[in-house]
Structure 1
């Protein structure tokens, strides 16, 4: 297993798999992932994209650089990565699983740019699902409700609105694994118990 992230110390602290230090917003990050997958794993069976950033506040008050960072991390970076790893996934007839968010299906006021970025990621998944059908690469779009990952406490801008208690990340992870095992292509917010 490869574990990809920006912070070498945090990757090492997990003790999981082969760490690959890369920034999703760098178009070349996917090249590092492909090289590591070939060297350490002999290929790639699947990609789970769980990267994301959030911002809160009205659209008019959201700085341009925050909108850019939302889309770079939540949409453009994953597209850069996918463009590079898809040939490996086609070789293995593997899978792509991307964690979007409930706001992709139910956009929220005070989160317009974030909602739009997550909806765009879900649109990528829908298009890829058809595009990759002949290659037998599965594409899974996961849109969980608010989950207690700490993301809401680390926004790029603004302050999180009062949110209900979120899902336990371990429960979301189990649901993701179950979706993969069952061959599901979508896990909507309402599919989390």
Structure 2
């Protein structure tokens, strides 16, 4: 897609990857709306992006996620893309994680991105793009990360099905399956500590990869 002039919503824009992506989109001429949980970070990012419209949401409130899409559509006068960078990490063997944490991971990592994109799909023009970050864990299925991996895998498979559904309409559906990123994300896990991991890509490299994925969709 052509970035310059595109109207793009970035949920999760207060995270490291979402923030870097929002700044790149703005620098390359996109008209962006940003959404996240951290009000202070949203204010700083909006200032950096020439007063981009911003809104707080709670990923655990799926109505809040869907409502943010409606808000962005009105604020920008339409939407050409929604790129969801929402997520939370969690580590530990299944007998130590517990049902409450498992539900939290599934809600934030799968149901919330689904809610954003489900609300966005009826608003997308032909050639529009909906995308969400999953991760290489979907392919690796590492020990000690079953519930986290399951939440990301659920989103990845959902995106695959939606891609097939949207083919006739001409809407592009992207699974942004990033490699491990040195963003501090794993250190903010809701449970457990991350396993020993090889050095990952930088936040800027991850944002660059997302930009290239967006630009590749014609």
Runs of 4+ residues over 4 Å off in structure 1: none
Equivalent of residue 2 in structure 1, options 15, 18, 33: 33
Whether 1:135 aligns to 2:166 is no
Equivalent of residue 189 in structure 2, options 115, 131, 155: 155
After TM superposition, the score normalised by the length of structure 1 is: 0.89
* Alignment partners' CA distance in 2, 1:65 and 1:122: 22
Whether 1:47 aligns to 2:107 is no
Equivalent of residue 27 in structure 1, options 57, 62, 69: 62
Shift of 1:99: 0.8
1:43·1:92 contact (CA, 8 Å) conserved in 2? Answer: no
Shift of 1:20: 1.2
The residue number in structure 2 matching 1:101 is: 135
Instruction: Give CA-to-partner distance per residue, 1:48-86, whole Å, 9 cap, x none.
Output: 111111111111110211101100001111122222121
**Residues 31 and 107 of structure 1: CA distance in aligned 2, closer, same or farther (over 3 Å):** closer
Give the 3-state SS of the residue equivalent to 2:82 in structure 1. strand
Shift of 1:93: 3.7
Instruction: Give CA-to-partner distance per residue, 1:144-192, whole Å, 9 cap, x none.
Output: 12101111111111111112212101011111111221229xxxxxxxx
Equivalent of residue 114 in structure 2, options 79, 84, 90: 79
Shift of 1:32: 2.8
The residue number in structure 2 matching 1:60 is: 95
Give the 3-state SS of the residue equivalent to 2:83 in structure 1. strand
1:25·1:72 contact (CA, 8 Å) conserved in 2? Answer: yes
The residue number in structure 1 matching 2:151 is: 117
Unaligned runs of 5+ in 1: 185-193
1:156-175 map, 5 Å: 156-175=190-209
* Alignment partners' CA distance in 2, 1:60 and 1:100: 24
Shift of 1:36: 2.2
Aligned positions, number: 183
Give the 3-state SS of the residue equivalent to 1:153 in structure 2. helix
After TM superposition, the score normalised by the length of structure 2 is: 0.79
The residue number in structure 2 matching 1:144 is: 178
Shift of 1:92: 5.3
1:125·1:141 contact (CA, 8 Å) conserved in 2? Answer: yes
Give the 3-state SS of the residue equivalent to 1:28 in structure 2. helix
Unaligned runs of 5+ in 2: 1-31
Shift of 1:108: 0.5
